[in-house]
Amino acid sequence: MVVVLKRGVTEEKQEQLIHWLQNQGLQIHISHGQNLTILGLVGDTSRVDMDLVESLEIVDSVKRVSEPFKCCNRKFHPEDTVVEIGDVRVGGGHFVQIAGPCSVESEEQIVGVAKAVKAAGADMLRGGAFKPRTSPYDFAGLKAAGLELLKLARQETGLPIVTELMNIMDLELFADVDVIQVGARNMQNFDLLRELGRLDKPILLKRGLANTLKELLMSAEYIMASGNERIILCERGIRTFSDYTRNTLDLSAVPMLHELSHLPVIVDPSHATGMARLVPPMALAAVAGGADGLIIEVHNDPIHALCDGAQSLRPEEYAALAEKIRAVRKVVTA
């Protein structure tokens, strides 16, 4: 349920109403917009007398929110959320370019790629240290040593780092990571999501391989319900009957998620297509479709990459794409 307050309501009256609602066992999320203050009521609102609340002098209107996701619902929070990572902003008109290899492999590789993507205009560096692999025999990342190399690359370039956490037991190692990625395979690891909700750290939440938008938003809700509101959603392609691409990039997810939620939405054209040559057209399409950012795999030597080489751009290919991204962005925001 959403309670929209009238303009110019005193702090005292607002507090009285909030206490009264809290006493009925509800959690209240307050959204102070430029023009409106909105109270989002979470919990069992079935016993709240809507007519009574609506009749209060300070209340403009009351709406039931039928969707099961509340905190991330745009009805609760009409203005776009802007996630801040140091000087980098994502959402609400701020566009982010995240680039880097699928996996951290060596100091030379990660620092080299970090410098190259920074020169091309990237805002953040990606790189997996803990890798979810389909086969237990494949390279599963350098683990803690990989995180150290990412930090070194950050030190060399100033780029904030984005990397995946698979297991909450490793959380301590991620204390100095700028953005924690929840990978597609963990989108519904509810215990992990709840724990990440206790952090004051941005979370990049990827859509699961076969998950609906509602399920993605319910996963964001897990994190937000535990207190962390710094979430970036990521469309990375879903399983369909498409036979020539790794996944199907669901681009309509971008405007749909923007309609449903105030959280920023970025797109991963690398995992969506699985092929380097399809990354530029899909990246540009995502920008044209209103994405708040892109996460793109870039490798200095894709042929010898230990993971996802086929979908990785070379640094010079990324640089050429980054320029086009800026050009399309100009058209979209004109």
Positions touching ligand PEP (CB under 6 A) are: 102, 128, 132, 183-185, 206, 236, 268, 271
- The residue of the chain with the least Cβ separation from ligand PEP equals 183
CB 330: neighbour CB atoms within 10 A? 10
Least distance CB 14 / ligand PEP (angstroms): 42
What phi, psi does 27 have (nearest 5°)? -95, 140
Interface residues for Mn ion in 187-226 (CB under 5 A)? none
- Residue 184, binding choice from Mn ion, ligand PEP, none, Cβ under 5 to 8 Å by partner class: ligand PEP
C-beta of residue 71 within 8 angstroms of C-beta of residue 59: no
CA distance 257 to 228: 19
Considering beta carbons, is residue 41 or 192 the nearer one to ligand PEP?
Answer: 192
Helix (H, G, I), strand (E, B) or coil at 296: strand
Label residue 274 left, alpha or beta by phi (over 0 means left) and psi (-120 to 50 means alpha).
left
C-beta of residue 150 within 8 angstroms of C-beta of residue 160: no
- Residue 143, binding choice from ligand PEP, Mn ion, none, Cβ under 5 to 8 Å by partner class: none
C-beta of residue 181 within 8 angstroms of C-beta of residue 160: no
Least distance CB 261 / ligand PEP (angstroms): 19
Mask 288-327, x = binds Mn ion (CB under 5 A)? Answer: --------------------x-------------------
- Residue 154, binding choice from ligand PEP, Mn ion, none, Cβ under 5 to 8 Å by partner class: none
- Residue 221, binding choice from ligand PEP, Mn ion, none, Cβ under 5 to 8 Å by partner class: none
Least distance CB 8 / ligand PEP (angstroms): 46
- Residue 183, binding choice from Mn ion, ligand PEP, none, Cβ under 5 to 8 Å by partner class: ligand PEP
Considering beta carbons, is residue 77 or 131 the nearer one to ligand PEP?
Answer: 131
- Residue 179, binding choice from ligand PEP, Mn ion, none, Cβ under 5 to 8 Å by partner class: none
Least distance CB 3 / ligand PEP (angstroms): 37
- Residue 292, binding choice from Mn ion, ligand PEP, none, Cβ under 5 to 8 Å by partner class: none
Least distance CB 32 / ligand PEP (angstroms): 34
- The beta strands (E) that lie in 122-183 are given as 124-126, 161-164, 179-182
Pairing mode of beta strands 231-235, 124-126: unpaired
Pairing mode of beta strands 124-126, 88-90: unpaired
C-beta of residue 50 within 8 angstroms of C-beta of residue 61: no
Least distance CB 15 / ligand PEP (angstroms): 43
- Residue 236, binding choice from Mn ion, ligand PEP, none, Cβ under 5 to 8 Å by partner class: ligand PEP
Considering beta carbons, is residue 105 or 308 the nearer one to Mn ion?
Answer: 308
Interface residues for Mn ion in 83-112 (CB under 5 A)? 102
Count residues binding Mn ion (CB under 5 A): 2
CB 202: neighbour CB atoms within 10 A? 24
Least distance CB 303 / Mn ion (angstroms): 16
Least distance CB 190 / ligand PEP (angstroms): 17
Listed residue (205, 165, 208, 167) closest to 185, CA to CA: 208
Listed residue (221, 214, 206) closest to 166, CA to CA: 206
Q: Which long-range contacts link 276-282 to residues 24+ away (Cβ below 8 Å)? A: 276/302, 276/310, 276/311, 276/312, 276/313, 276/317, 278/245, 279/311, 279/313, 279/321, 280/313, 280/317, 280/320, 280/321, 280/324, 282/249, 282/251
Residues that bind Mn ion (CB under 5 A): 102, 308
